[in-house]
Structure 1
Amino acid sequence: MLPTLNGRLQTRVFMLVVLGGLITLVLTPLLPGRPGYGTTFAILATVLVAGIGWELVYHGIQQFRWEKDWPTMFGLLTAVNEGALVWLLVDVGAVPGIEANSVGFGAFLIDFVVIWLVIWVWTNGPMRVPFIRWRFFGGRIV
């Protein structure tokens, strides 16, 4: 069974809130430039909100594919366009609570890439053990 749009949205929200939140708690003090928790959680929230928009775009594109889903590695590459959009929003000051040019690119890149990779690896591997029926229910968590 392939993940449905509803399932992909639920998985994205669940993973970013739970796993992304835990990673952000641990990673923030280690980032260069010492951005505060308010900044890193605002970035995480931006990734979540922008990601919901991206899922709608991805869903539309996937309708042209026979199996209606991405190959696994292609899902990893979607980090490039999502990260670029979030960085642009952060850099120009479009994210509430973050001033324009106040977050260094290095700190953003480390934060985004670590969270993205951990969530991608977890979703495509170990998550299938505790949530054994997850894939059969179209990726829905609830």
Structure 2
Amino acid sequence: MLTTLNGRIQTRILALGVIGFIVALIITPVLPTGSLTIGQAYRVTLSVLLATIIVGVLWELLYHFLQQFRWEKDWPTMFGLLTIINEGALMWVLVHNTTIVLPRALHPSLTAFLIQFIVTWIVFWVIVNGPLRLMFHRWRFQGGRFL
């Protein structure tokens, strides 16, 4: 059974929210945040995570549209990993070049952003494509929905 659009959105919100929050709690104190206090550093990482989740829902709509042109109506698993490139690039533009996500005084360095985004994305991808499927074995038969 393939995941449905609704299932992919639910999985992205729930899994990225939980996994991303745990990753942010762990890596924020060691990120190269310059002169930011630890509170400001957590505000930056959690704001980037929240923006990634919100923009990710919009990405899912685009991915769903593009999948309609594929015979299987699904992506190979590796495409899920490679989406880090386009999603990361868009998030960097939104985080660094605008004040939509963060005020200018809290814009992270490219290094801090890349560390957070890449570590979070890889941990998310590995867990969703491995342990999540084992722990929630009915998840696939429900189109990837949790609710």
Structure 2 residue 50 is the aligned partner of structure 1 residue 45? yes
Residue of structure 2 equivalent to 1:74: 79
Residue of structure 2 equivalent to 1:31: 31
Residue of structure 1 equivalent to 2:117: 112
Count of residues in correspondence between the two structures: 142
Using the alignment, how far apart are the partners of 1:96 and 1:108 within structure 2?
Answer: 13
Which letter does structure 1 place at the counterpart of 2:137? I
What TM-score comes out, normalization by structure 2 length? 0.92
Which letter does structure 1 place at the counterpart of 2:2? L
Long gaps (5+) in structure 1: none
Note the C-alpha offset of 1:93. 2.6
Which letter does structure 1 place at the counterpart of 2:84? A
Using the alignment, how far apart are the partners of 2:83 and 2:101 within structure 1?
Answer: 24
Q: Contact conserved, 1:24 with 1:40, CA < 8 A, in 2?
A: yes
Using the alignment, how far apart are the partners of 1:110 and 1:14 within structure 2?
Answer: 22
Residue of structure 2 equivalent to 1:90: 95
Residue of structure 1 equivalent to 2:128: 123
Using the alignment, how far apart are the partners of 1:96 and 1:111 within structure 2?
Answer: 15
Structure 2 residue 137 is the aligned partner of structure 1 residue 132? yes
Q: Contact conserved, 2:44 with 2:107, CA < 8 A, in 1?
A: no
What TM-score comes out, normalization by structure 1 length? 0.95
Note the C-alpha offset of 1:102. 2.6
Note the C-alpha offset of 1:101. 7.7
- Per-residue CA deviation, residues 1-25 of structure 1 (Å, 9 max, x unaligned), is 0000000000000011111111111
Structure 2 residue 13 is the aligned partner of structure 1 residue 13? yes
Which letter does structure 1 place at the counterpart of 2:19? L
Using the alignment, how far apart are the partners of 2:81 and 2:6 within structure 1?
Answer: 20
Using the alignment, how far apart are the partners of 1:66 and 1:121 within structure 2?
Answer: 26
Please tell me the root mean square deviation across aligned C-alpha atoms, in Å: 1.4
SS state of the match for residue 82, structure 2?
helix
Q: Percent identity?
A: 53
Long gaps (5+) in structure 2: none
Using the alignment, how far apart are the partners of 1:96 and 1:72 within structure 2?
Answer: 29
Structure 2 residue 66 is the aligned partner of structure 1 residue 61? yes
Taking a change above 3 Å as real, the CA distance of residues 100 and 79 of structure 1, as seen in their structure-2 partners, is: farther
